[in-house]
Amino acid sequence: MGETRMRGRLLERETHLETLSAAVAAAHLGRSSALLVSGEAGIGKTSLIRAFVERTRTRVLLGGCDDLRTSRTLGPLRDAALGSGGPLEHALTAGAGGDAVFDAVATELSGPEPTVLVVEDIHWADDATIDVLRFLGRRLDRLRTVLVLTFRDDALDGGHPLRHLLSTVAPGPVSRLALAPLSPAAVETLAAHSDWSAAELYELTRGNPFYVTEAVATPDGVVPASVVDAVRSRLHRLDAAGVAVVEQLSVIPSPIDLSLADALVGDRWDRLTAAEEAGVLELRERAGGPAIVFRHEIARRAVESSLPHTRRRSLNRAVVDALLATDREPDLARLVHHATEAGDGNTLLRYAPLAGSQAAVAGSHRQALAHFEGALPYADRLALAERAELVDAYAWELHIAHRNGEAVQAASAAVALRGEVGEPVPLVETLVRESRLLYIAGDTAGAMAAVARAIEVARPTGSVSALAVAESYRGAMLTLTMDAEQAVPVLEDARRLAGEAGRTDLAALCLNYLGIAHCDLGERRGLLCLRDSLAMATGNGDHESTARAYTNLVEVLYRYGDHDEMSAVLDDGLTFMAERGFWSHAYNLEVHTALLLTRRGDLTGAEEGLRALFEGVDDPGMLYVYSAPALGRLLARQGDPEAGPLLAAAWERACRQRSMPGYAYAAIAYAEWAWLQDRLDVATTIADAMRRRPLPPGAERLRAELGCYLARAGAGGELPSDGCTDWWTTTTRGDWRAAAAGWAEDGDPYERALALTDSGEAEPMLEALRILDALGTAATAAMVRSRLKLLGVRHIPRGARPSTRTNPAGLTTRQVEVLELLAQGLTNAEIAQRLVVSVRTVDHHVSAVLAKLGTVSRRRAATVARDLGLLPGKDQPLPA
């Protein structure tokens, strides 16, 4: 038990194998020895012995002891001697005992060539076998043998006869091989082709090879039946009271302090000792004092999962009672967990909302959402005001989790409950949150109506704080809907009110949107406001304002083309979002990561990232007008028929939602599609819309990009340029050489190719074609080929067929490269290093590959790919 093999080799056992092999070599030189191989159950003792026996050419007698109620007399020696035809087999067959067996063993092991005698699991050995081993241990120097004994060091109580045996083996020729658990690195290797996270698997198994290998053979989160059976078999060594104690503690998924254990166990502490001796439990030192834990978390889960449902509920009820009785300030998360498992609605209503609030303040938003969800089924027992508070908090956590539709429904319910309560100040806060959620869900009109109502409710209250909340969000909405001139004075006034009310969170928020408003007005000092807002929010520990500051700063940096700073802020922001669980903001940053990859020529990486976002979120709400244009634009360049409908939908939603970045992104992407598809009608529609509702003065680069594509499509020439000096404007003015050189310096190969194409000359256009073919932009390349034909160029490179047509799964060339490395067992970090890309890019590639192959398992992906002919068979080598 405890297989640690990986591709024909044992992991982290080579040193032990070398020690065993060295002992055999010494025996050939006349030096006998004993090797004592110890370790807990499942540590890999049998696997080590198997590998050792396979590699040695010396005679081996192998026997093992069994876990029987009454051990077989001399059982392992009978197994070892069976079929050998030697003196030991004859003696045992004749029923000999005592001195006759001793003599037979000594004769068996005294031949001209050495013999390896292996006895496994001697902790289960009968007394007669132990006597024989003791006999051999004292005479090793007279024999030509290697004696290998394996045993569980967690199965020996103080009076076990094996302890005396081990103490009497001659010390000189004895080596002790204590097998350690696998390291995190080894666990990661074993987990590479499974659905498990290596870190979670290590935490679950503590590196026990048996538990690791059994777990990787099952879906993530499922306790294998083999593990349940193994753990249950170990419990058979305990009496009924001991099993009851272990079952009681198994429902507690965290270390159990001694006071809680005492409340649960009472006068059965001797059963705890028995469970510790059986290797099930252990006392572990912690900073907060000693605690009882299961030796392996997977063993705890195995016991818990085997309990009948009603018994599990009653055991959790006992934990709830004990926690409330022993701790004046109980651990809320633990208490809520056990109350949920016990179906204890009253305890949940008393503690779950408080636990959720604490988790939210600490930035643990997934946990906060779970706590609120746990209390909601019993919410009708609460007073109206308490129910409104719970539903309001729940709505906000749904928003953070990017569950937009549910968030809006919950927010609407919270507003209704607040209205019934009749307290205006809390109603203002709830209305403002509803406004935010409606805007994120894509309902701009609803968001404006909610914030207008919030102001209407706030003014008569006389509460400076309530008015500051309402006015700050009114300023935010004005900014977000491209009304910067009105937004600035509103935000300045709201910032003053926030200062009077001591609301540092609102002050940071006002500064954030003032930054955007100033940038919209063409004042780059807005960028300083955004940086200051991020610093203020971070310093205040205001996580939501920090998240919003990251996203808004990234949007403005992209608008200005400050890609180096943008890249740094993206890295910090995505780390923050992942740690705090702000998935809506993370979605925004991932879109801008894809936009940055597009600028840098990694169109495949950008597409993979965007597709992963679409596959991971059913409806991103208003962020659809960020992600859909970005993806549609890439598809348009490939000539994908999906591009047109996607971009048309994004443009329609962008016009309705009035978000400046989304409006610009959708217009530019749709204009490029119109150019590639020769759709002057679409380009004209976009140009007309921009004249009626132009982008703000501070979006000059975005306007220049849009103007350039509209001009290419035949609908440009009337958009204001405001003296912009970017490379799109340079192109539009006819200086394609300067534009191409500028794009080359900026590292944007696609735009460089288009500038070369705008030359209208054969040689620059041929160079553009080479770039476009390399990027895989088939539609754009086809347009250049058509122009070259019109110029009379005869030798036009045909280019490669689109890579997605060359395999049945629709994988791109880069995805096939990732698949090949994935099939070799490389981790995402190793793949990133091999391909010289970021780990995040590889994460997107792997997600896309698994999705296209219809599996969530890396191992299964390799199998499916071989079946489709995308990879060579198992007996064929992968490309170097």
| Tens of pLDDT, residues 481-514 | 999 999 999 999 999 999 999 999 999 999 999 9
Question: How many CB atoms are located within 10 Å of the residue 468 CB?
Answer: 28
| Tens of pLDDT, residues 543-571 | 889 999 999 999 999 999 999 999 999 99
**pLDDT over 70 (residue 182):** yes
Q: Catalogue the long-range contacts made by 377-385 (C-beta closer than 8 Å, 24 or more residues apart).
A: 377/345, 378/345, 378/346, 378/348, 378/349, 379/349, 381/345, 381/346, 381/349, 382/349, 384/417, 384/420, 384/421, 385/421, 385/423, 385/426
Q: List C-alpha distances in Å: 142 to 148, 149, 170, 842.
A: 17, 19, 12, 62
Rounded Cα gap, residues 721 and 732, in angstroms? 10
**pLDDT over 50 (residue 866):** yes
Q: Helices 749-757 and 762-775, interaxial angle, to 10°? A: 150
Rounded Cα gap, residues 503 and 213, in angstroms? 54
Q: Catalogue the long-range contacts made by 756-759 (C-beta closer than 8 Å, 24 or more residues apart).
A: 757/784, 757/787, 758/712, 758/731
**pLDDT over 70 (residue 742):** yes
Would you say the C-alpha torsion 139, 106, 35, 235 has a positive or negative sign? negative
Pick the residue with more confidence: 294 or 855?
A: 294
Give the pLDDT band of residue 873 (cuts 50, 70, 90). low
Rounded Cα gap, residues 547 and 536, in angstroms? 12
| Tens of pLDDT, residues 587-616 | 999 999 999 999 999 999 999 899 989 887
- pTM value? 0.69
Domains and CATH numbers, the chain: 5-180 (3.40.50.300), 223-330 (1.10.10.10), 365-575 (1.25.40.10), 590-790 (1.25.40), 808-867 (1.10.10.10)
Q: Catalogue the long-range contacts made by 156-163 (C-beta closer than 8 Å, 24 or more residues apart).
A: 156/123, 157/277, 160/123, 161/127, 161/130, 162/122, 162/123, 162/125, 162/130
Mean pLDDT for 170-179 is 75
Reduced to 3 states, what is the DSSP secondary structure of residue 175? strand
Mean pLDDT for 61-87 is 80
Rounded Cα gap, residues 664 and 656, in angstroms? 13
**pLDDT over 60 (residue 878):** no
Least confident of 19-28, 165-174, 600-609, 750-759: 165-174
Strand order in the sheet with 174-178: 59-64, 115-120, 145-151, 33-38, 174-178
Query: What is the DSSP secondary-structure string of 53-106?
Result: HHH--SEEEEEE----SSPPTTHHHHHHHTTT-SHHHHHHHTT--THHHHHHHH
Q: Which DSSP state fits 256?
A: E
Backbone angle region of 792, left / alpha / beta, with phi > 0 → left and psi within -120 to 50 → alpha: left
**pLDDT over 70 (residue 220):** no
Mean pLDDT for 620-647 is 94
Going by their DSSP bridges, the two strands 59-64 and 115-120 should be labelled as: parallel
**pLDDT over 50 (residue 875):** no
- Looking at residue 8, its pLDDT comes to 42
Mean pLDDT for 671-680 is 96
- Looking at residue 852, its pLDDT comes to 75
- Looking at residue 9, its pLDDT comes to 53
| Tens of pLDDT, residues 726-738 | 899 998 888 999 9
Answer for the pair 397, 372: CB distance below 8 angstroms, yes or no.
Answer: yes
**pLDDT over 80 (residue 66):** no
- Looking at residue 163, its pLDDT comes to 60
Pick the residue with more confidence: 165 or 126?
A: 126
| Tens of pLDDT, residues 694-719 | 999 999 999 999 999 999 999 975 54
Question: How many CB atoms are located within 10 Å of the residue 681 CB?
Answer: 9
| Tens of pLDDT, residues 417-432 | 999 999 999 999 999 9
- Phi and psi for 116 in degrees, rounded to 5? -100, 120
Residues 6+ apart with CB under 8 A from 143: 32, 106, 109, 110, 136
Mean pLDDT for 76-86 is 86
| Tens of pLDDT, residues 326-344 | 877 888 888 998 999 999 9
Q: Where are the alpha helices (DSSP H) in 115-236?
A: 127-138, 161-168, 184-191, 198-205, 209-216, 225-235
- Looking at residue 692, its pLDDT comes to 93
Answer for the pair 848, 612: CB distance below 8 angstroms, yes or no.
Answer: yes
- Looking at residue 314, its pLDDT comes to 96
40: part of which helix (H) or strand (E)? none
| Tens of pLDDT, residues 374-401 | 999 999 999 999 999 999 999 999 998 8
- Looking at residue 803, its pLDDT comes to 47
**pLDDT over 90 (residue 741):** yes
- Looking at residue 1, its pLDDT comes to 46
Q: Would you state the structure tokens that stand for residue 822, as one six-digit string?
A: 């994935």
- Looking at residue 871, its pLDDT comes to 74
Give the pLDDT band of residue 319 (cuts 50, 70, 90). very high
Give the dihedral of Cα atoms 621, 627, 628, 629; nearest 10 deg.
130
Hunting for tokens 């001797």 — which residue is that?
Answer: 270
Answer for the pair 177, 38: CB distance below 8 angstroms, yes or no.
Answer: yes
**pLDDT over 90 (residue 158):** no
Rounded Cα gap, residues 279 and 274, in angstroms? 9
**pLDDT over 60 (residue 800):** no
Answer for the pair 543, 582: CB distance below 8 angstroms, yes or no.
Answer: yes
Answer for the pair 631, 614: CB distance below 8 angstroms, yes or no.
Answer: yes
**pLDDT over 50 (residue 203):** yes
Hunting for tokens 């079946």 — which residue is that?
Answer: 867
Q: Which DSSP state fits 463?
A: -
146: part of which helix (H) or strand (E)? strand 145-151
Question: How many CB atoms are located within 10 Å of the residue 489 CB?
Answer: 12
**pLDDT over 70 (residue 805):** no
| Tens of pLDDT, residues 110-122 | 888 899 999 988 8
Question: How many CB atoms are located within 10 Å of the residue 463 CB?
Answer: 16
Residues 6+ apart with CB under 8 A from 512: 529, 530, 533, 534, 537, 545, 548, 549, 552
Which range is most confident: 580-584, 696-700, 835-839? 696-700
Give the pLDDT band of residue 6 (cuts 50, 70, 90). very low
**pLDDT over 60 (residue 837):** yes
- Looking at residue 283, its pLDDT comes to 86
Q: Which DSSP state fits 181?
A: P
**pLDDT over 90 (residue 308):** yes
For the chain, the average pLDDT equals 86
